[in-house]
Amino acid sequence: MVEKWLALERPNPRQEEFLNSACKYIAFGGARGGGKSWAVRTKAKLMAVRYPGIRMLLIRRSYQELENNHIRFLRRELNELAEYRAVARQFLFVNGSVLDFGYCGCDGDLDRYQGAEYDVIFIDEATQLQEEWLRQFAACLRGVNDFPKRIYYTCNPGGPGHGYIKRLFIDRRYEAGESPEDYLFIPARVTDNTALLRAQPDYLKQLQALPRKLREAWLEGRWDIFQGQFFQEFTDDPAHYADRRFTHVIEPFPIPREWRIYRSYDFGYAKPFSCAWWAVDFDGVIYRILELYGCTETPDEGVRWTPDRQFAKIREIEDNHPWLRGRDIQGVADPSIWDTSRGESVYETALKYRLYFQRGDNRRIPGWMQMHYRMSFDDEGYPMMYVFNTCRAFLRTVPQLMFSATDVEDLDTHQEDHVADECRYFCMARPIPPARKESGRLPADDPLDLARGSFGAWGR
């Protein structure tokens, strides 16, 4: 009976690698149509038989997604060796193994997993869950037994958890307590999934017909481009760090003394504060050369530094860093730091440390458009904005920002957008015109053509 139940179709090489992997954290996917759901169900069945009494959890964003992608298949496949208990949302195997199903679409859904213990957790479409949720599910991976302790993630580029999955499995940048040998990424593309291509031969053509950005994410599995990405122009291509074409990220270099240096600042206490220093060359190209970001190891959590402590640190950096020392640095900041309704303003504190700011133009849509204009490549592949690859806060947060669900021109303000806010204040202080059309004329109704007016407090 077991042999009949375990009769499996032949996995493709990527699925086989997933089934055989014994790392603690395994991510599988990267592109659409890679056969991820089949691999998850198959791995769960194999582990249930191999380890009698094991406890497993399969998570998706909604229960309906679980029903459509997993439960309806497993009820047919497991009808002889496992009982499905609909109220408990679990399969109970004859050998005592358990496969629970859970969903998480909001913070409140996490309450039902408080104190839960599992040996193996499958998080399907993990990038659709927020980072904090993914971390809390990882805390459920425990138990005093000899069963393997593993988390299997399936994932595509895009979604609230994109940055977390990308950091761990694509960029392989690890924080304290994270061991690189525990993490394995197995890429999967639709071209690996011969079963799908036989059943739906037009699926590959459908992906190939998508717009370029979406095609690169869904077909090629590009993690620097994904659906809903707010700054879709942003590109980090190490192959072009030297010639600076078709990339916004470059290696640091000594800043010429003739170039001007500026400072941008966004205040935060419970949320992170962000301060950056920008160099401007003779062509008006801006370079993000240095940053100070007040964030704990938990994303979007501030270090709770007082304004005094923040400005003391900024003063120390400007007095000692070789790129900044001895320079006359102008600053721009969110106008909220001039607020005196609760006593001394944040700006008055800055003045004590000889740090001077101009009131930033904090109009959101024009500010975002200035960043879009800066990131656009000219005909030869050069942008008007570069970021040193040492500016980790920018590289972690800005590329992951997504469009708002309620305002099609704005980004989602529930994200970690403090670096982006500070960046747009600076871009609005040095606005550039949008790219001109082939006719050489701008659209008559373009509300963001700042070139028709002033070029801001600091000129172009």
Q: Please give the full DSSP string across 191-232, using - where no structure is assigned.
A: GG-HHHHHH-TTHHHHHHTS-HHHHHHHTT--TT--TTBS-T
Question: d(Cα 259, Cα 281) in Å, to the nearest integer?
Answer: 5
- The alpha carbon of residue 33 and the mean position of all alpha carbons in its chain are separated, in whole angstroms, by 21
Domain positions in the chain are: 2-218, 238-452
- Is 449:437 a contact under the CB 8 Å cutoff? no
Long-range contacts of 393-398 (CB under 8 A, 24+ apart): 393/272, 393/274, 393/291, 393/293, 393/295, 393/419, 394/276, 394/288, 394/291, 394/419, 394/423, 395/236, 395/249, 396/163, 396/167, 397/163, 398/231, 398/234, 398/423
Region class of 35: left (phi > 0), else alpha (psi between -120 and 50), else beta: left
The two domains 2-218 and 238-452 share their CATH topology (first three levels equal): no
- Is 279:260 a contact under the CB 8 Å cutoff? yes
Six-digit token string for 193? 């999934």
3-state helix, strand, coil in the chain (%, to 5): 35, 20, 45
Question: d(Cα 363, Cα 386) in Å, to the nearest integer?
Answer: 23
Phi, psi of 422 (to 5 degrees): -65, -35
Phi, psi of 142 (to 5 degrees): -165, 170
Burial of 202 (0-12, 13-18, 19+ CB in 10 A): exposed
Residue-level pLDDT at 286: 98
Residue-level pLDDT at 353: 97
Residue-level pLDDT at 447: 38
Six-digit token string for 86? 């609909």
Question: d(Cα 33, Cα 176) in Å, to the nearest integer?
Answer: 34
- Is 415:402 a contact under the CB 8 Å cutoff? yes
Question: d(Cα 460, Cα 409) in Å, to the nearest integer?
Answer: 25
Task: List, in order, residues 6 or more apart from 36 with CB less than 8 Å away.
Answer: 28, 29, 124, 154, 188
| Superfamily name and number for 2-218 | P-loop containing nucleotide triphosphate hydrolases (3.40.50.300)
Alpha helices by DSSP H, listed for 329-417, are 346-352, 364-375, 392-397
What DSSP state is assigned to residue 152? E
- The alpha carbon of residue 194 and the mean position of all alpha carbons in its chain are separated, in whole angstroms, by 30
Task: Render each residue's pLDDT in the chain as its tens digit; 460 residues.
Answer: 444 445 456 888 889 999 999 999 999 987 777 788 899 999 999 999 999 999 999 999 898 999 988 999 999 888 888 999 999 999 999 999 999 999 998 888 988 898 899 999 999 999 889 888 999 999 999 988 999 999 999 988 877 888 889 889 988 989 888 999 999 999 888 777 777 777 777 777 777 776 566 676 667 777 776 667 788 889 888 889 999 999 999 999 999 999 999 999 999 999 999 999 999 999 999 999 999 999 998 889 999 999 999 999 999 999 999 999 999 999 999 999 999 998 999 999 999 999 999 999 999 999 999 999 999 998 899 999 999 999 999 999 998 898 887 776 788 888 899 999 999 999 999 999 876 544 333 333 433 343 333 334 443 3
Question: d(Cα 116, Cα 266) in Å, to the nearest integer?
Answer: 39
What DSSP state is assigned to residue 139? T
Q: How far is CA 201 from CA 10, 19, 204, in A?
A: 19, 26, 7
> pLDDT for 123-163, tens place per residue?
999 988 988 899 999 999 998 899 999 999 998 887 788 88
Alpha helices by DSSP H, listed for 253-294, are none
How many Cα atoms occupy the beta-carbon half-sphere of 329 within 13 Å? 27
CATH fold for the domain made of 238-452 = Nucleotidyltransferase; domain 5 (3.30.420)
Task: List, in order, residues 6 or more apart from 101 with CB less than 8 Å away.
Answer: 57, 58, 59, 63, 66, 70, 71, 89, 90
Q: How far is CA 141 from CA 23, 121, 231, in A?
A: 14, 7, 35
Six-digit token string for 126? 């993990």
Burial of 277 (0-12, 13-18, 19+ CB in 10 A): buried
Six-digit token string for 373? 């204009």
Residue-level pLDDT at 227: 62
Give the angle subtended at the CA of 318 by the CAs of 313 and 322, to the nearest 5°. 130
Question: d(Cα 23, Cα 46) in Å, to the nearest integer?
Answer: 16
